[in-house]
Structure 1
Amino acid sequence: MKEAPIIVSACLAGMYCRYNGDIQPHETIVELVSQGQAIPFCPEVHGGLSTPRAPCEIREGKVIDSDGIDRTEAFQRGAEQGLRLARLVGSREAVLKARSPSCGSGEVYDGTFTSTRIPGDGFFARLLKENGFTIRTEEDLPE
């Protein structure tokens, strides 16, 4: 029986979805996707946000962009869509973008847009963890 694919942040696979429009693929992730061992997913795009978009950070349990607009609903919707996809393909593991307000695991930015890091999880990472998934970031992988 074939092992279930893992879910990976689409930006790490080199897809055009980062908030600033940059493409920064992680070679290990690109290889996993090309071998059919991983499925790329961007909760922010699937939640309805555009690329590029204003940077967002989590502040007091809400996702706020650098213009002060509350983007929580889009982040929540994207996280729920990602969980549906992961369940559909039988995945139990994800490799997600470090410190992202969607995908960060264990550490995120503090909502002040000063690059200050605090303990915490992004919306997608938290939802996956709450549903028993194993989460790693690209920083846990070999280059």
Structure 2
Amino acid sequence: MPVKHKILLSACLAGYPVRYNGTDKSCTVTLLQQWRDEDRLVPHCPELAAGLATPRLSAEMVNGQGNEVLSGRAQVVESDGRDVTQPYVLAAWLALKAAQSHGCRFAIMTDGSPTCGSQHVYDGAFSGMKVSGEGVAAALLRQHGIEVFSEWQLDALQRRLDEVEEV
């Protein structure tokens, strides 16, 4: 019987109201339900795990993106200008720990988030504009060999699962 790889899932996509504004971003795609039924999904909110409150001020990365935040060359700041880099770096490490402790080879993370964004993040000017890039946790997961997908890439993730599980 082939191994069924575990998938770290942003908790907001699983319907938990943990986003900065106290809402969820529930994703009701058939593939997610299938993976839930197969007991593959590991819901996790990095920001909540790091002790950030819900709701909280919106935050964006300035002077760089996830990898630069991790290396100390960029910061995460809230909309009032307060530097919250340390809790966001902690959030990334806690996401990695959760993924590793559950044997996750893959992750589905909420795109746009300064933590979870895997394809796009906000531009750091609180202008509402998105740019190509990745958040702090997505970058750290990738650095450690975990393949990160956004909620818009579930078909691509299914293709990867088919490849590695030889379906």
Give the TM-score taking structure 1 as reference length. 0.92
Q: Which runs of 5+ in 2 are unaligned?
A: 64-73, 156-167
For residue 6 of structure 1, what is the aligned residue in structure 2? 7
User: Which residue of 77, 81, 87 maps to 1:68?
Assistant: 81
| Correspondence 1:29-68 to 2 at 5 A | 31=33, 32-33=35-36, 35-60=38-63, 61-68=74-81
- 1:76-124 deviation digits (Å, cap 9, x = unpaired): 1111011111111111100100111000013211111111122221000
d(CA) in 1 for partners of 2:140 and 2:23?
Answer: 26
More displaced stretch, 133-142 vs 52-61? 133-142
1:44-123 aligned at under 5 Å gives the runs 44-60=47-63, 61-123=74-136
CA–CA distance in 2 between the matches of 1:38 and 1:78?
19
One-letter identity of the residue aligned with 2:44: F
CA distance in 2, matches of 1:18, 1:34: 24
Corresponding residue for residue 17 of structure 2 = 16
In the TM superposition, what is the alpha-carbon distance from 1:12 to its structure 2 partner? 0.3
- Distance in structure 2 (CA, Å) of the matches to 1:33 and 1:100: 23
Larger Rg: 2
| C-alpha RMSD of matched pairs (Å) | 1.6
How many residues align? The count is 142
Secondary structure, aligned partner of 2:148:
strand
Which of structure 1's runs of 4+ aligned residues deviate more than 6 A?
A: none
1:12-57 CA distance string (max 9 Å, x none): 0001201001223101376233542101111111111000000001
